[in-house]
A and B are shown apart, each in its own frame.
Chain A
């Protein structure tokens, strides 16, 4: 199984809401990532988890809170978002950090109203 799944596919939330994005992989990968992609732009790295520990936070605002409950799951908790946070949020995994290909999920398209 070389699939990374993400739920939900679409999410509309108000600026006062709290929501969570979920990502799952069953490839035994020990590195997982969150990327943010605005329309017609490349993905931008947000967070890197290595062996279930946060290893990189690319100066992401605290209204985005990642969590890695176990080696297969990655969550992104959202709170008090702004309309400019509307984007496609992509999860990815790889065997480990370093020189490995990353497998991407289909993304969650988030709209903040």
Chain B
């Protein structure tokens, strides 16, 4: 069963704009993670937010978590062409269960 469902499935924005991706999940979690994947390569960990945290920042990334709504969002500010990638939320106590992902395209 999938832990997360991302929304939107695809997003295309202009360079410099902000990009927001949402993730909804069904079961209780201890933490939620976000990963980036460039063009069918390995995944890169972006940020981990624990269930007792509401917001977390890392550079141009901001993640929020609403456990009452079972949802999380990832905000990328001042987007760059290099941010073009697929973004996945994931959860799980041992191995990760990934959401379907959002494919983000940054137009120059």
Known A99-B30, A101-B33; judge A56-B43 contact (CB<8 A).
no
Chain B interfacial residues counted at CB < 8 A: 24
Give the chain B neighbours of A64 by CB distance below 8 A: none
Give the chain B neighbours of A97 by CB distance below 8 A: 93-95
Known A99-B48, A101-B33, A106-B42; judge A43-B93 contact (CB<8 A).
no
Known A90-B43, A104-B42, A107-B42; judge A99-B50 contact (CB<8 A).
yes
Q: Is the interface of A mostly helix, strand, loop or mixed?
A: strand
**Using a CB-CB cutoff of 8 Å, which residues 1-42 of chain B contact chain A?**
2, 30-31, 33, 35, 40-42
* A interface list, Cβ under 8 A from B: 4, 31, 33, 35, 39, 41-45, 47-48, 50, 55-56, 58, 88, 90, 92, 97-99, 101-107, 109
